[in-house]
Structure 1
Amino acid sequence: MERHEVVSRVYDASYQRLVVQLLGVCGDLAEAEDAVQEAFIKAIRQGAHFARVDNPEAWLRTVAVNHVRNRWRHLGVVRRVRVPAPGGPGAVELTPDHVALVTALAQLPHDLRLTAVLHYVADLSTTQVAAELDIPEGTVKSRLSRARAALAELLREESEHV
């Protein structure tokens, strides 16, 4: 099977799932789509190496998350150097539940948010999340517990305001 065919099959099977997972991480649909597309571009460039990866979706997710992290680092530098322009991105059409969840996730510290998205949205086990983030499984469980408690409170507050 040619390398482009391998990437194409993984794309068909994983693209939407990866975008939803990255949306949970970054809170912006366009940024999530961009990160996943960048991951697939890197997969194409990897050629035969990508075809031999044990878990292509995990590899792509890691590349996409790293892309988002690098973008955030870059934006942090840009914010220190210049004044942000007024206005913001266009509205994303999502259900009210999605909006509430993404809003609540955005309020979590990055480590809790990423851990929660990988476990609950990407449906990875705590062992898989630990391996992907290169942290102990106990740390994953602790982060998930704190994330659940924080999200429950944030979502309860949101429902009281509606």
Structure 2
Amino acid sequence: MDDIYKRNVENIYRICFMYLKNPADAEDAVQSTFLKLLKSDIAFADTEHEKAWLIVTARNHCKDVLKSWWRTRKAELPNLPEAGMDDSFGHSGEVLERLLSLPDKYKIVLYLYYFEEYSVKEIAGMLKRKESTIQTQLAKGRKLMKVSLGGYYGNESY
């Protein structure tokens, strides 16, 4: 279990942070995800199966948190990413801020494709969507990022 945690904790934190946009909530979600793993009796075929299971579990948990009664009724404090978050993504705060501001269906697809380097087919399987849907969401997400960033990064493609 220790090895699984060490291999995946940073990636799961990033996924949770993308959904919850708050470091404390993301840490709680990571903890809940790994507790679900501890309580389950799942046997992974390989490390990719393990990673995919954790990503889907974290995503589902974060969506449940976002729908919870408590979350919808509490007042939010400004929750900007911590300074250390920028380094872990390897991009400036501007790119991270723009990615986090995208609708969930675009940001998770962009994250899995560019940061976790999953193929369209693998993402479709994890998110239980058609490959054509994933391709469309990638294209629209890229376009939204480009528009959102304006000319900030010149003519680079996203």
TM, length-normalised to structure 1: 0.76
Point out where structure 2 has 5 or more consecutive residues left out of the alignment. none
Superposed, which structure 2 residues align to 1:92-111 within 5 Å?
92-94=82-84, 95=86, 97-111=91-105
1:11 aligns with 2:1: no
Distance 2:38 2:59 in 1: 17
Deviations 1:53-99 (A, max 9, x none): 23111111111111110111115x753xx5x4474458622449442
Q: Which residue of 2 aligns with 1:132?
A: 126
Q: Which residue of 1 aligns with 2:44?
A: 53
Point out where structure 1 has 5 or more consecutive residues left out of the alignment. 1-6
Distance 1:89 1:107 in 2: 12
RMSD: 2.6
**Higher RCO (C-alpha 8 Å, min separation 6):** 1
Distance 1:78 1:141 in 2: 31
1:22 aligns with 2:22: no
State the identity %: 21
Describe the shift of the 1:87–1:149 C-alpha distance in structure 2 as closer, same or farther (beyond 3 A).
Answer: closer
Q: Which residue of 2 aligns with 1:65?
A: 59
Distance 1:86 1:146 in 2: 29
Q: Normalized per residue, which structure has more helix?
A: 1
SS state at 2:83 partner:
coil
Describe the shift of the 1:78–1:57 C-alpha distance in structure 2 as closer, same or farther (beyond 3 A).
Answer: closer
**Alignment: residue pair count:** 147
Q: Tell me by how many angstroms 1:123 deviates.
A: 1.7
TM, length-normalised to structure 2: 0.78
Describe the shift of the 1:98–1:41 C-alpha distance in structure 2 as closer, same or farther (beyond 3 A).
Answer: farther
